[in-house]
Amino acid sequence: MTLARLAYRVQQFWKYTRPASPELDEIRPLLSPAEIELFLRMQPGEQAHSLEVLGRLRLQAEVDPDLQTAALLHDVGKCRFPLHVWERVWIVLAPKLFAGRFRVWGAAQGALDKLPWWQRASVVAAQHPGWGAELAQAAGCSARAVSLIRRHQQPAPLNPQNEEDQLLASLQAMDDRS
């Protein structure tokens, strides 16, 4: 890990532990009442992160409604099993230290509450996009917003050929910077 990346992760950790209150007036025009309920289920740090992703997209003149919804709800799947701060540190460090094992741990199925904390955190890191897509679909999000949420951690195509892939690349770029 480079010094710049380490500094970024420290800044990200600090932002997560001291999140700003979400500006609900900012998201009301963008989300339906059911989608706002989903947003409010996220932990304050995740809400702040999502608002930062949205803000970065807007600075890039990205105003597609599905992309904005996905920016605000891309991490909503984490609300199924909220993580503690030390678990968040784990999911940043573990892939670097135990890359192969981390993928295996993240693929676990079944009762997550029965798993050791480190494996549960790995499962949440790996599976929250799918969970979030399910929650977003149940809340009435568009099919494209649901797809963006589901795919937000998948490798983006190097040369996006369609609009959804272009939106995914934008979402991932701003998510990586926030």
Tens of pLDDT along the chain (178 residues)? 565 555 555 555 555 555 455 567 889 999 999 999 999 999 988 999 999 999 999 999 988 999 999 999 999 999 999 998 888 888 888 888 888 888 888 888 878 788 888 889 999 999 999 999 999 999 999 999 999 999 999 987 888 889 999 999 999 999 988 8
Q: Give the global pTM.
A: 0.85
Residues 6+ apart with CB under 8 A from 129: 74, 77, 149, 150, 151, 152, 153, 154
Burial of 122 by CB count in 10 Å (0-12 exposed, 13-18 middle, 19+ buried)? buried
Q: How many CB atoms lie within 10 A of CB 168?
A: 23
Helix (H, G, I), strand (E, B) or coil at 22: coil
Tell me yes or no: is domain 3-177 CATH 1.10.3210. yes
